[in-house]
Amino acid sequence: MTPRSRSLTWDATTAIEALAAADSALWIWTPAEDSLRLTGATRSLGLGPLAPDCSGAAFVALALPQDRALAERILKPAEEGTEVAVRLRMRGSETCLWRGVWLEDGLRAAGMVALETKISGSDKDELTGLLDRKAFLARVGEALTAPGEYEMIVADVDRLRRLNEALGHERTDRVISALGSRMAAAFSDAASSARIGEDEFAIIVPRGIGNAADRLRDALEQPLRVAGFDIYPTVSIGSVACDGGPDAADAAELLRRVELAVGSAKKLGRGGTAAYGRALESDSLSRLALEADLRNAFVRGEIEPFFQPIVNLNTGAVAGFEALARWRHPKRGLVPPDEFLGLTDEMGLMNDLGLMMMTQSARQLAEWIQRHPTAGSLFCSVNLSVGEIERPNLVEDVARVIAETGLPRGALKLEVTEGDIMRDTATAAVILQKLKDAGASLALDDFGTGFSSLSYLARLPFDTLKIDRYFVLTMDKDEGSAKIVKSVVNLGRDLSLEVVAEGVENAGLARLLLQAQCHYGQGFGYAPALPAQEAEVYLNESLSDGAAPLKARSG
């Protein structure tokens, strides 16, 4: 052997040093011996606690909880020649790619593991390891050069913003990462699985290979547990059929079409599904027109508060109102809130809407208090939109509105959600106290539907808890709902908080709430949200009759 050939000889030590330098390791799994052997850069891969060998259970335990099923997949025996290709995150490490093959009639498997960032190109989404939007479009373009029928499918994760508010970005990223892993496991590389937006996943598949949309839903809607919370993801799915070959549509145009379908699916509610059709194009043009009209609505004063009565269950008297935004469109008439509130949020106008609603409602309440001294201590609740509690000048605006209208302390009640509180409890506590010092009272809205804030509730300056309407509507039929309502009422009384029950649809529910010693009721059994003039008529009638009218039964 010449000196040169000796210098190129690889021995075991040299190989291990090379693996370590490349942030890679070799692995051998022998199920019969319950032994996983590792050599190479085990520490940087998060495998240090397992090296040089460990049991299968120890390996699974070191994986992040949402990836443990993938770890078990690596260990599951398979036929000789079966490939292993799994993206997996161990505790304290980045995502790693495990690749290998089953050997010797499936008696053992062997392969290599490496940090994904070391072997993946820049065409990958950093969080999930799936293709990013640009790379996905390129892959679609490549796929469509071949003749055939294809289907592009996009899944939009429902209520991701709510999840962000409740869990924070870091924990939500863990949810997204887990969803990406599940999607990669559900489809072959030929599907070009991708994350094309903050909450959007996409694939392109040949048509006729089975219901890919259902498979995508099954992969993404499996429950998972993050930071002690059980998360049940749902997705809205859109799809578009397309042909490959010389006349294939542009990939970006196809993606535009499928995202129109996703928008249509979301209108159906959580977990909706829709396919692209020409009718969606006219819907999209209508949306553009609606956006322009909505901007003008703020200037023209077309958005106004309607007032839903809140009734004292003990006396039957109207105690106050909740102000709810309504849009009087000059041509379309009264536009339902679910048609414009989401659009208002997307256009970044929620803070403007919140200030306008607070100002107009406070002025209206001041007039009613002056004209109806026998009504007692009327109040008006105004919802703070998601994130509005952190809006600059919120406290100053509240103080100014109360001073300008001359409202008594506590007459203007601001409602906030659990998500706003849980996002940053310490900061929220400071802002809430400032709002209370400025003369507002505070209500925690939809209590019990979000992520528990019981540990903070006693320390935050709330005056009121509002029970979500679902529990009230079902309390006469569902024992669980009845127990929740009673528990919230008792909790409120223990903490010296008033409790408002939403969803009072009839006299029967009102009686049950009164028996539970709930303070106030609100719902269609009394009245829907009314224009200011009709709300005042309702107030007058209740003052004259001694009690607010209440439906005997729903229907």
For residue 1, the model assigns a pLDDT of 45
Q: Is 348 helix (H, G, I), strand (E, B) or coil?
A: coil
pLDDT higher than 70, residue 452: no
pLDDT digits (tens, 9 = 90+) for 36-48: 999 888 888 889 8
Bridge partners, residue 447, by sequence = 467
For residue 2, the model assigns a pLDDT of 47
434 vs 399: CA distance, rounded Å: 10
18 vs 21: CA distance, rounded Å: 5
555 vs 541: CA distance, rounded Å: 23
CB 114 within 8 A of CB 22: yes
User: Binning pLDDT at 50, 70 and 90, where does residue 304 land?
Assistant: very high
For residue 555, the model assigns a pLDDT of 43
User: Which residues, including other chains, have CB under 8 Å from residue 515's CB and lie 6 or more apart?
Assistant: none
CB 304 within 8 A of CB 360: yes
251 vs 204: CA distance, rounded Å: 10
Phi, psi of 194, rounded to the nearest 5 degrees: -145, 155
Per-residue tokens: 546: 């001694």
Determine the length of the chain.
555
pLDDT digits (tens, 9 = 90+) for 91-102: 878 778 888 899
Instruction: Compute the mean pLDDT over every residue in the chain, rounded to the nearest whole number.
Output: 85
Phi, psi of 450, rounded to the nearest 5 degrees: -100, -145
User: Which residues, including other chains, have CB under 8 Å from residue 390's CB and lie 6 or more apart?
Assistant: 427, 431
- Strand segments, DSSP code E, in 377-450 are 379-383, 412-417, 441-447
Pairwise pLDDT comparison (442 vs 4), residue with the higher score: 442
Give the pLDDT mean for 332-358.
86
For residue 33, the model assigns a pLDDT of 93
- Strand segments, DSSP code E, in 404-488 are 412-417, 441-447, 464-467
What the chain holds in terms of domains, given with CATH numbers, is 14-118 (3.30.450.310), 133-277 (3.30.70.270), 300-545 (3.20.20.450)
382, with CB counted inside 10 A (0-12, 13-18, 19+), is: buried
484 vs 469: CA distance, rounded Å: 12
pLDDT digits (tens, 9 = 90+) for 353-368: 999 999 999 999 999 9
239 vs 259: CA distance, rounded Å: 8
For residue 282, the model assigns a pLDDT of 65
List alpha helices for 277-336, DSSP H.
279-300
pLDDT higher than 60, residue 553: no
Name the percent of the chain lying above pLDDT 90. 41
Pairwise pLDDT comparison (45 vs 554), residue with the higher score: 45
335, with CB counted inside 10 A (0-12, 13-18, 19+), is: buried
Query: What is the model's pTM?
Result: 0.55
pLDDT digits (tens, 9 = 90+) for 395-436: 999 999 999 999 999 999 999 987 778 777 888 889 999 999
Helix (H) and strand (E) counts for the chain? Answer: 21, 22
Q: Is 329 helix (H, G, I), strand (E, B) or coil?
A: strand
